[in-house]
């Protein structure tokens, strides 16, 4: 169980800080919720405490993991399906996993692809979402601001900013 002040990652949403644990009644059912404040966009998210493992909530990455994330970002583009649909599904599965290394690989591959060939609207949206998830976790882990984090990611991949 997490506590107020813990920094956690909510797959598909990004990293945030638990600012409260509240009991709420939703659709006639009372349950405890973590109230998360996200560092980007000043958004708040409610996460049902009982579903934490099922959802894949985890603690944010530490310094060693963040270093490995930058190693992933600096790596070569991995082979992806040529078919847009298959590529999109594969990348979406990686993002849904909540695994920071998988998300970093999606960001790297899509940024490189965008630089070389351009992206469809759907893939551009996917890239922006994946990048925001990565940025939110790095911001909380390293204590640096969003702009600096985005520059570090862009520099690691060595592509112009998206």
The residues spanned by each domain of the chain are 7-59, 63-157
Instruction: Please identify which residue in the block is written with the tokens 């349950």.
Output: 31
**What φ, ψ does residue 18 adopt, rounded to 5°?**
-75, 115
131 has pLDDT over 60: yes
Distance CA 15, CA 62 (A): 13
Structure tokens at 127: 């890239």
- Domain 63-157 class? mainly alpha
| Beta strands 29-37 and 7-10, pairing class | unpaired
161 has pLDDT over 70: no
End-to-end, the C-alpha distance of the chain in Å comes to 37
pTM recorded for the entire structure: 0.88
pLDDT tens track for 77-115: 888 888 888 999 999 999 999 999 999 999 999 999 999
CATH topology classification for 7-59: Thrombin, subunit H (2.40.10)
């Amino acid at each position: 169980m997490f506590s107020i002040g813990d920094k956690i990652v909510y797959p598909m949403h990004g990293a945030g800080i638990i600012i409260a644990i509240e009991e709420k009644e939703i659709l006639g059912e009372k349950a405890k919720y973590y109230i998360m404040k996200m560092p980007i966009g000043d958004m708040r998210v409610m996460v049902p405490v009982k579903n934490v493992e099922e959802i894949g909530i985890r603690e944010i990455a530490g310094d060693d993991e963040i270093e490995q994330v930058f190693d992933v970002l600096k790596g070569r583009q991995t082979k992806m399906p040529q078919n847009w649909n298959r590529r999109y599904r594969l990348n979406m599965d990686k993002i849904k996993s909540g695994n920071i290394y998988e998300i970093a690989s999606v960001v790297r591959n899509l940024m490189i692809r965008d630089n070389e060939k351009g992206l469809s609207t759907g893939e551009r949206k996917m890239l922006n979402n994946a990048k925001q998830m990565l940025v939110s976790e790095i911001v909380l882990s390293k204590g640096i601001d969003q702009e600096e984090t985005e520059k570090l990611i862009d520099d690691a991949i060595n592509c112009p900013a998206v």
